[in-house]
Structure 1
């Protein structure tokens, strides 16, 4: 698989502030890769360095296997779609789309043909003579994308391009962007803080946190096998237990937690007395009136919330921790206040890494006094 973009040991500082800390990843030809993370994690700065609008403090960026550190933005076969569209209000739709071709001195008849092809591609045929104030937000976004694509870039960078749209239009444009990317086969690098958007659109997702890469993988792997607690919390909903392996069994391992104990079955090797983080997705949580072998997690049904196709239930554990549980919308719910026991299939437990010294210090205390204070 051909490498279209490669970031090697990229660092970016503004004075003494470290924005990007030794970033390394590769984007392959024809791939839709999303950089996902909270505000301030460095994803837009990374995008701007790829485009050439910012220079790395150190490290190297390759485009189509060639270094581009000395190339200005206009000499990189990269176009960018911005959050605010950056269209020219005094030009018509056709003139906006053709702007790049005009700057490249492409003859007017050829420009007109290319513009018509782009309008058809973004499903806006017949809109060429309209002014921008006659367009909706979604139509303006399509024009911005058409303008970026008309020069046939090797890479299209998109910096939260849908954030200004309402929810319904945003979801329509997500499908539209993915359709365009598949049809054209162009490498897309997309920036967003919306994890649902990233899961829906991407071939792979690079999850960023405080200037470093937490994990890069396809959406299913990120959701089902997060490597860190940050990824588990940021991609979907999670219940996270901190505990110590108290016994190795034939089925897996028994883990002592503040609220009792639980069992896991993990492909990652564990040893007795090891500190572990256990992630359980809300849809994997099960309830029983009596204890299930390998589990002792008593709880009380605290709240129910209706969310259309599912019910969201909050279970309160003895120490006050809130445990999230999702069930199909048609499923009968237990009355609030019902005492239950929590369990799950052993293979549904996800063992993740921890970098928290607090967890290591606290777990040495047998009462686990400050762990699991989630709510």
Structure 2
């Protein structure tokens, strides 16, 4: 990256990288709560409306919301991790989670890293639930990174980087972007914390949509950790929405589908201070996420009705174990007999019988069909619903917003 590649204001503030002739580290300008991009105003209003629609659906279906977001958190973990090159699938994560800490657990660094994402989000969500927006401070960001990068000592989990890093290219000389030098990271992160803690000043109100979009770019521009910056930055997004009283929407799935656009849009801001591509992409992903999540509510309710009709033919008593199992499946579509026995506090034979009935009804399928012990089953219709229609909803949003 040459100095001449940068917008003039960034050329004025960038600093040479010691010992690397011709390499310059970019010092991003202070984070401000709003960016004036007129072309994004109509998209902002549309995204705002979709958030309100999703919020209404959640309010009317709190039980389904808990189950659905339990799964979406894990889909987010898988897709955000895959953006960085891991290969663990959604069902692979759920199987790894079930087997974690048991004799059936298999060594899998990718799955461990993806499961760390689930744990980090759970920690962040609990902090936000307890403290609201005041939880969004630097110690929380560091604790999220510590949980996320657990087991990777080279990443210095939870600690700001002490050396120069870069984005793109095997060597810093061929990097696409060089973040600020390490000695500037604490001050820049303190400035970012001000945006996370932003409160209206008089009549000025800035939507969480704008603040989240800006915070993500700023975090990635600073790149405060040795590794795990992308995942940590994406992890902050649903936490910011949750802290603002909005649905903790998950964007990594949609950013992964548009991965190259995502990278180019971030670079446009970081190197050229051109916000338009990023704001458009971000808001389109918000709209797509809201719409797909609303669709999932309908799909899961229809699936539950279908299951109830099927189960009622084999289990008339509503307290039968099989009814308790299908109540779990919408939020836990991958199960084992041991897990069901422990979760429902029932005997192994009772759990095994209920699962056998669900297999006969076609509601469950065995994943590892060659095994007779430690069998894993999945509710394939739930798994399919999570990823069905992603491309369609993205295309629908792109078509609708093309003229906006």
TM-score in terms of structure 1 length: 0.26
Query: Which of the pair has the greater relative contact order for Cα pairs under 8 Å at 6+ separation?
Result: 2
Structure in which a larger fraction of residues adopt helix: 2
Select the structure of larger CA radius of gyration. 1
- Bigger proportion of residues as strand: 1
TM-score, scaled to structure 2: 0.25
